Copies of this chain bind each other. A is one copy, B any other.
Amino acid sequence: MNEFTPTERTEVRRLPQRAAYDRETVYRILDEGLVCHIGFVADGRPVVIPTGYGRTDDTLYIHGSTASRTLRALGAGVDVCVTVTLLDGLVLARSAFHHSMNYRSVVIFGQASVIDDPATKLEALRVFTEHVAPGRWREIRPPSKKELQVTTVLAIPLKEVSAKVRTGPPIDDEEDYAMPVWAGVLPLSSTTGEPLPDDRLPAGIHVPEYLRRYDRKRP
């Protein structure tokens, strides 16, 4: 139950040692990421759009304006591929050929469906907001009825899912290890800067704890 079953489409063929199908790995990557790239076919041709998302159990939520062509296309139940990628480092080998990157990615195949039920829709938006900034939902003004009406929320089931992970140092050809060139990993990570208060913020409102200690990594 803790593994997604590989399918024809999700089984990783290239470098299968990098593949993972367990929920813990998949959830961790999805929960750390902020942006997914959602692909769909429009007029027979591929379109890839970046967008935010949220997750509850085995459901991924995305949302957008009901006026959006993309959301309308997706809501019609077309096939989608949703990919989330976290970049962890540059892998600098002695040879050009063995250069690589350390990364963690998740690829989801499925169909998006529109959430119509207002309570589920509201819950999805809560999940979405809490995904971006855990702790924020209880402080802000929730969506009005009108705002809910002009927001399309889509659910994508986590069913056909795989993760791919590369970690560790470069793997060079044996004869290259003696080369007098620096080799190793340059770690990369996403970090936050000092929060920039809005110009119209009333006096005396401090940066909340959940933003001061903002960290995408879950323990």
Q: Which residues of the other chain, B, contact A190 by a CB distance below 8 angstroms?
A: 87, 188-191
Cβ contact within 8 Å between B196 and A182: no
Partner of A14, one of B41, B67, B186, B193: B67
A141 contact set on B, CB distance < 8 A: 94-97, 176, 179
Does A206 belong to the interface (CB within 8 Å)?
yes
Pairwise interchain contact A181-B97, C-beta atoms closer than 8 A: no
Sort chain A's interface into a size bin.
Answer: 35 or more
- CB interface residues, A 192-213, toward B, < 8 Å: 192-202, 205-208, 211
Q: Which residues of B contact A142 (CB under 8 A)?
A: 95-96
- A140 engages B101 (CB within 8 Å): no
Chain B residues contacting A96 (CB-CB under 8 Å) are 125-126, 129, 137, 140-143, 147
Kindly list chain B residues whose C-beta atoms are within 8 Å of the C-beta of A211.
92, 182, 186
Chain B residues with Cβ below 8 Å from A46 are: 39-41, 46, 79-81
Residues of A contacting B: mostly: mixed
Contact mask for chain A residues 58-71; partner B; CB cutoff 8 A; 1 contact, 0 none: 00000001011110
The answer to whether B183 and A90 touch across the interface, beta carbons within 8 angstroms, is no
Residues of A near any B CB (own CB < 8 A) = 9, 13-14, 34-35, 37-41, 44-50, 52, 65, 67-70, 79-83, 85, 87, 89-90, 92-97, 99, 101, 103, 105, 107, 109, 125-126, 129, 132-133, 136-137, 139-144, 147, 151, 169-170, 176-202, 205-208, 211, 214
Q: Within the assembled complex, what's the spacing in Å between the Cα atoms of A175 and B80?
A: 38
- Looking at the assembled complex, report how far the CB atom of A91 sits from the nearest CB atom of chain B, in whole angstroms: 10
A44 to B80, CA, bound (A): 11
Q: Bound state CA distance, A34 and B100, in angstroms?
A: 11
Residue of B nearest to A95 (CB): B141
Q: Would you give the shortest CB distance from A202 to chain B, in whole angstroms?
A: 7
In contact, B184 and A198 (Cβ under 8 angstroms): yes
CB contacts (< 8 Å) of A169 on chain B: these are 196, 198-199
Contact of A37 among B48, B103, B125, B184 (CB under 8 A): B48
Would A48 and B81 count as touching, CB distance under 8 A?
A: yes
